[in-house]
Structure 1
Amino acid sequence: MAIILPILLLSGILFVAYGLYKSFWSVELLILFLVNGFIVAFYISFTTQRTLNKFIKSFSEEMESIKKGDFTILLDREKYSLIKFIVSPINVILSDIRRLIENFFSLSMSMVQVSKQVMNSSEQVSASVSEVAKTVDEIAKGASDQAQEAQQGVIIVDKLSEQINYVFNTYKEVALQTSKIDELNSLGQTAVNILRNRSIENSSASSKIFAVIENLTGTIQKISSFVESIENIADQTNMLALNAAIEAARAGEAGKGFAIVAEEVRVLADQSRKSTEEIYNLVESIEEESKAAILSMEVMKKASDDQNEAVNQTERAFRDIADALTGIVKQINEVNEAINKMQSDKNEVIAAIENISSVSQQTAASSEEVAATTETQLAVIDEMKNAAENLRQHVYKLNDELKKYKLR
């Protein structure tokens, strides 16, 4: 376009110049006309070329952006007025492509969510089915073990029956021994009653002896008081005899007889003092013995009290034994009834165990069938999970491709 337009202008100028030349223009005017024409043609050509270059550059840049994935661009009709007859169709195509990519991107995100849900559901179902399979295996194993245990239970029940018979015979022996223990307990209670009476008598006698010793101690203390008084009198008599002897010596021959009497009185006073000392020592010894006897009686009284308490405790123990024997006899009778009931229920237990064994065998067989079905379900679920994972990976790749397009 930039080349054709100047050529057309130059051709027109030459054509006009040739006409003017034929119209008898001078050569100078013709040259001037041609120079001006060439200048105008060059200016028009330069302006047109620059405008056209801007148009091509802008259009190329927008097309390059669209090629890189920027579908936010729409062509301006005013800007591209030279090709406005194709601008609208191009904009429509770009809008349709953008809307198509947006819809496809939204669909791919939905597919990602769906694939995640499918995988999560598959994993949950797989875990549940695995748990069911594990439970079914345990049920099958338990049913098989139960069947074996049921057979073993029959044998154990037979042995239990023998043990029941042994317990029943032992019960009879225990009942007999309990009766003997009851008799011995009665004898023990009688002996305890006799011992308690003897202890009471012993305590009474000890109390009387203790009272006598206390009275004796009081009497001895009185004697000690009397002896002390006698000793004081003897000391005073001795002093009086000494004074009398002194007075007799002063009297001379007239007081000689009185001096002899005073000497005899002094001698008797000394003897009385010595006797009172001996009596005092004897009384003191008796008093010490009385104190020792009192201490011994107190110890004896405490021992008697302890003995009485022991007798009371022994009596209570025998009563407790009697009560316990009563309870034991009652429990033995209850055990006897339970043993008789166990004997009657034994056959029913054996029949029930055999029925359990049969049902357990059927349960084990059914559990094995369920386990096989569960394994098939697990395989199908794994395939579905793998398919969902593959779909998710493909959608991720597609999203990565779509992300290079700019839509907003």
Structure 2
Amino acid sequence: MGYINSIRGKLTILCLALLLIPSAIMAIVSYTQAKSSLNTLGETVLKNSVETSMQLLSSVKRDFYAGNLTLEEAQEEVKTLLLGAKQNDGKREITHPADLGETGYLYIVDANGVLLMHPTREGESLWEEKDTDGEYFIREVIEQGEQGGFTKYHFALPFSTTIAQKVVYSKTDSEWGWTIAAGTYMQDFNAPAKSILQKIILMLVIAIIVGIIVVSIVARHISSPLARLTERVREVARGNLTMPLEDLQRADEVGSLNRNFNQMVAHLKALITEVEGAISVIKDTSTNLSAVSEETTAYGDEIVRAITEVSTRAEQQAVSAENTQETSQQFANELKILQDRNTVMYASSNEMKQSNEKGVTSLQELKTKSGETFTIMERMRLVFTHLTDKMQEIETIVGTISDISDQTNLLALNASIEAARAGEHGKGFAVVAEEVRKLADQTVSATDSVRTTLRGITEETSLVTNEMTKTYQIVQQQNQSVAYTELAFEELEQAVTHIVESIDAVIASVGAIDQSKTIMTSAIATVADMSELNAAAAEEVTASVEEQQHAIAIVTTSANELSDEIIALNEAIARFRIR
């Protein structure tokens, strides 16, 4: 109890409280914020994994609708890409590249809660299974998947009976009736927050130890001289003026108090010596004593003025330290805002980087499709060229047929003339010749129609060939544009990478500034406390000097009455030891 009631004990307790309370609050707030940020980041990872899986599902469905895959092949390819190939024992080894935590994985359920894809339980139904709170968790997962949402529930850890919170993000594909979900335990994401808390506690313990050492040194520097001075005052109170005086080479209030005490003891010695030497001459002694009292009073006034000035400056220093502390707090708030903005910028940069990667992937697909289109157009152009050549050959053949028909018609006419000359014997032949002529006319008419049709087809083929040539040129320009776009995406990716690196550097610098701010705030608080203590000590010294002046006034009065009290004074002086 003696140590606690001492100035040293009070100063130590006060400084430790000022160090411990803000540090503990900062540790709790930092741990809470880190845990919250890690949980949010983990949910974002789950959501991105599901969204990426939905895009992959859409890509495979396009192959299915294009006829490149059967339904079973398409569904199995999706499962293999999202989780892993199915093994002989019916399980799937997790080969998905996304980091979903130590226990996280992707799975697929249908509308009835049957696992269509799962590392170990594929084909089982979870519709009737409940979590530790008695809720049908898989039903909520399916319900949230209709709009895309999170489901949180408590479930036992793998190979353990320990219960932990699990979070799942799900989204449903309406065409196949699949609900794709990504789930993991929250502790997989916020585990680093515990490490942060441990480091903060370690730093707090180190800071407390250093604070105890520093405060002990400072408190000892203040309290030890005061304790020795208190002991000498106690000896003076007992009447012992023979103890050695301590000369402290200090410019603060403690040093001033010690010097004033030494002066007081010296004056008391001189006073008593003069009283002993002047007992026989009461008037001279009384006069000398009055002069000494007046001189001591003047010294006391000077001391009071000096201490008052010191006290005023100490109060001003305390006010300045308090203002500086407020400014430091404002700086800390601005620094916190800067840290939050850096965090938002870092997250936005990562999102921009992911969007750029998606753009590159889509561009690669476009480049592939453009190449395929280019190849198809080239083949179609060759086909139409061959078709044009064939049309020309057909037109030549039709011309030949037309010539043959004309000759046949001429031969039929000659045959009719010869049949007429033959008379009755040539009538049958004339009928045949007439039929041949009609067939020749029909052939000529048909060949004319064919020729007209061929000309129309030739013209349309020419138009199609021209349009395909233009399309061919457009595809070439498109391929060139895709190449330029790919180059632009590469440059954009480099720029985003530089931005992320710059933001990392800014975050590191802000962290260093934050550490310096913490040290500066602690130092300012210590200065403010010391200023208040100095002001209080100055007030105490002022009170002591005022009491001393009051005592000197009493001495002066006693000197005036010295003549009547010579006997009592002689007995009183006998109590003091000055030799």
TM-score range, shorter chain: 0.3 to 0.5
Bigger helix fraction: 1
Higher relative contact order, structure no. (Cα contacts within 8 Å, ≥ 6 residues apart): 1
What is the TM-score of this pair, normalised by structure 1? 0.42
Question: Given the two structures, how large is their TM-score scaled by the length of structure 2?
Answer: 0.30
More strand by share: 2
